[in-house]
Structure 1
Amino acid sequence: MSKIRKKKIKKTNILLGFICVLLAILLGFILVTSYKSEQKESRHLSEIADDQQSGIEDYEAVKERAKELEEISSEEAEDTEDIKSKNTEDTEKTDTAETEDADKTEDTKDTKDETAAAASGIVCWGDDLINGEESNTYSYMAVLQKLLTDNGYNMTVINKTLQGGGTLSMMKMAGVSDETIQGYITRHQQAANGAQLNVTETGIRDLTEEQTTRNDMDCIPVIFMGYYGGWNHDPAELADQQEQILNTFQNKNQFIVVGTRPMDGSVTSEALDQVLSQKWGEHYISLADVTAQPSSTYEAQQAMAEAILQKLQELNYISKN
């Protein structure tokens, strides 16, 4: 082979070797660059992943907090609703109670008005304490009739009093059974234990047919009894005897009871009033509270008539037609 050819081959090999070295350097550079880029990208992706994880955790925390706030709001809303519901219920109950009370009051008023209209008059039982012709002008019954008429009330006052009679005779006149009346007499005798009793405590007056005939059972009774005795000086027994007479009337809810101490002073006005006012409540009139005059005087009869009229008006027993 010629020397020239050998030189060419040698140059070519050197060139190829140089090229290979360059290629190897280039490849190394590329590999290093790629590795660095991959490392950088890996770090970036890791940071992104960390941020996402943190974001997820923050989101979960926010979501959990929102859920707690929602539950709290829901509970507060329920409490508020319960309070509103309770207030509404209480208001409804109050309104219902007030309506029922108003209805009851109206019903009671209507009942009283109807009964008052149905009553044929006012009847006075007991003793008028004034004898003879004077009673026609000065007794509380005569005065009451005049007051009713003068004030526009078309009501007749009926006289069922028994002059000087005891309560046993009054019960007999009202139609209370003999057995019931005898029961009182027996108790009086037992309590006396052999002592002498006033005739009014054991005896019953002879009564006429006119006296025992009842034409007043649809009237409003005014009971004034006990002045002459017949109740063993026991206010509780007097109240029971008054009730015996009241039970003979058609309407047992409308009545007036007037109390005065007995003639013999065996029971004080205070002791009598304490028992009878407790028994009869708003239906009771104490003569001692009305006047300081003796019950048999004109002044006391006038005061009692005025007190009875006022009580009839207060209880809505009478109305002007």
Structure 2
Amino acid sequence: MSKIRNKKIKKTNILLGFICILLAVLLGFILVTSYKSEQKESRHLSEIADDQQSGIEDYEEVKERAKELEEISSEEAEDTEDVKSKNTEDTKDTEKTDTADTEDADKTEDTKDTKDKTAAASGIVCWGDDLINGEESNTYSYMAVLQKLLTDNGYNMTVINKTLQGGGTLSMMKMAGVSDETIQGYITKHQQAANGAQLNVTETGIRDLTEEQTTRNDKECIPVIFMGYYGGWNHDPAELADQQEQILNTFQNKDQFIVVGTRPMDGSVTSEALDQVLSQKWGEHYISLADVTAQPSSTYEAQQAMAEAILQKLQELNYISKN
């Protein structure tokens, strides 16, 4: 029994020794492997450190280069701003010069337009009512007085007479060449408004006109419209203004004209009512005979006053000039 036990103990010791040897070998292997791994990791860390150092150096270099570029850009921006500022100043100077040139050109053009308008007018033509009949009209009518005033004041302008003695506005439109259809429209309107009542002949009739009367040689003249005294406009100032416009539209230059207003002979419309409508319609082109004289329009005094007012208006509107 003792021998068997000793034999087992011996085997056990041998086995334990062998295990110890294996453990020692394994431990050595682990130590060697660990050492090698540490060495490799150390080399890797050294390489990373070197790379980081190199990166830092590169970063510092790039940073320094960027700073240099920023300084260069700043200098270029200053130069550009100087150039831009100079260009802006040059542009403003150019704009001022252009504006001045434009204003001078406009003034020249305005002067030219005024001269052209004056040159384009071949004379002054009076359309409408002839309030003074017979021989005395050659001396005392506003047309005769206006001609004398123009000549005495150095204006080389001829006054043409296209008035119609005792005629209504319908006949005046016919003489001017306004279409029959337009004139008939006024007549129809008058008849409808009358509703069967008897109308004055000037409200519905048109005078027989001669070839000389209907021949137009005045379309380039400055028209002075004085019409409405004998009727033909149904006692409606707005219609009278419309009929005046019909005649004005037959002229070449529709911007140059004068309209003179006087109340009708029959007193159906007051001067105040007439002036209110016509002054609003014609503005600076309008002359109210009631504002010029208190005398009846057929008197010598009224004709003289009207001629003087027409001359003044021609001068105010720059329609005439001394040659």
Q: Secondary structure at the match of 1:132?
A: coil
Cα distance in structure 2, aligned partners of 1:82 and 1:265: 80
Cα distance in structure 2, aligned partners of 1:297 and 1:83: 78
1:303–1:196: structure 2 CA closer, same or farther, 3 Å change rule?
same
1:250–1:49: structure 2 CA closer, same or farther, 3 Å change rule?
same
Q: Secondary structure at the match of 1:126?
A: strand
Moved over 6 A (4+): 1-95
Cα distance in structure 1, aligned partners of 2:6 and 2:312: 161
- CA deviation digits over 1:7-42, x for unaligned, max 9? 999999999999999999999999999999999999
Cα distance in structure 1, aligned partners of 2:74 and 2:300: 80
Partner residue in 2 for 1:67: 67
Out of 175, 178, 185, the position equivalent to 2:177 is 175
1:17–1:233: structure 2 CA closer, same or farther, 3 Å change rule?
closer
Q: Secondary structure at the match of 2:225?
A: strand
Contact 1:113 1:316 survives alignment (8 Å): no
Q: Shift of residue 102 of structure 1?
A: 7.8
Q: Shift of residue 201 of structure 1?
A: 0.3
1:165–1:14: structure 2 CA closer, same or farther, 3 Å change rule?
closer
1:308–1:62: structure 2 CA closer, same or farther, 3 Å change rule?
farther
Contact 1:112 1:316 survives alignment (8 Å): no
Q: Shift of residue 99 of structure 1?
A: 5.3
Contact 2:114 2:318 survives alignment (8 Å): no
Query: What's the RMSD between the two structures over aligned residues?
Result: 11.0
Question: Which structure 2 residues correspond to residues 1-321 of structure 1 after superposition, within 5 A?
Answer: 96=99, 103=106, 106-107=109-110, 110-111=113-114, 113-115=116-118, 117-321=119-323
Contact 2:169 2:228 survives alignment (8 Å): yes
Contact 1:233 1:266 survives alignment (8 Å): yes
- Structure 2's unaligned 5+ residue stretches are none
Q: Secondary structure at the match of 1:43?
A: helix
- CA deviation digits over 1:228-265, x for unaligned, max 9? 00001111100110011011111111111100011111
- CA deviation digits over 1:159-181, x for unaligned, max 9? 00001100000000111111100
- CA deviation digits over 1:102-132, x for unaligned, max 9? 81684266245444x1211110001120010
Q: Secondary structure at the match of 1:133?
A: coil
Q: Secondary structure at the match of 1:123?
A: strand
Contact 1:113 1:317 survives alignment (8 Å): no
Residues 18-27 or 215-224, more deviating = 18-27
Cα distance in structure 1, aligned partners of 2:64 and 2:269: 86
Instruction: Report how many residues are paired.
Output: 320
Q: Secondary structure at the match of 1:56?
A: helix
Relative to the length of structure 2, the TM-score reads: 0.69
Q: Secondary structure at the match of 1:111?
A: helix
1:52–1:113: structure 2 CA closer, same or farther, 3 Å change rule?
same
- CA deviation digits over 1:127-152, x for unaligned, max 9? 12001011000000000000000011
Contact 1:153 1:319 survives alignment (8 Å): yes
The share of aligned pairs that are identical, in percent, is: 97
Relative to the length of structure 1, the TM-score reads: 0.69
